[in-house]
Copies of this chain bind each other. A is one copy, B any other.
Amino acid sequence: MKQESHEEKTGEFVDICHEHGLKVTPQRVAIYREIINMDTHPTADAIYRIVKKEYPNISFDTVNRTLQTFADIGLVDVVEVFGGAKRFDPNVDDHHHLHCIRCGHMLDFYHRTYDELDVPKEIQEEFTVLGKRVVLKGICKACGT
């Protein structure tokens, strides 16, 4: 996984938008600045409430649409959920998930071996694989054994 400072990331942000023909609006900058500081998998509503503090006029629709747009161009990921609202992942590096079936939380973990899993030949022929993720389902420490 590559590591970049947030300054570098925000610096690249303008370029990435232009590459994709997207306008660089203050709203987009604000949203991007907030999400790259997060180490959770926030919902659109959670991000909306945070961005609203410095941008009281922003609408939920804008936040939600912007997150979609970011997902489309790979600036964020949409993560799997097992119920509840859609969640976005500011961490686009290769990583895997622990899913606690009690509390519903989804935790990141890194494991090189999983990143390098072989994809069966039959599947490569039928499907263009762009990413892999291993999801381990179980009970987290906080929820007891």
Chain A residues at the B interface, C-beta cutoff of 8 Å: 78-83, 86, 98, 100-101, 109, 111, 113-114, 117-120, 123, 126-141, 145
Contacts and interface: CB of A to CB of B under 8 A. Distances in A.
Nearest to A110: B120
A138 B126 CA distance: 10
The secondary structure that dominates the A interface is: strand
Given A82-B78, A86-B83, A120-B111, A132 B126 contact: no
A63 to B, nearest CB: 15
B127 A98 contact: yes
A129 B136 contact: yes
B123 A109 contact: yes
A82 B76 CA distance: 13
Contacts of A120: 109, 111, 113
A70 to B, nearest CB: 14
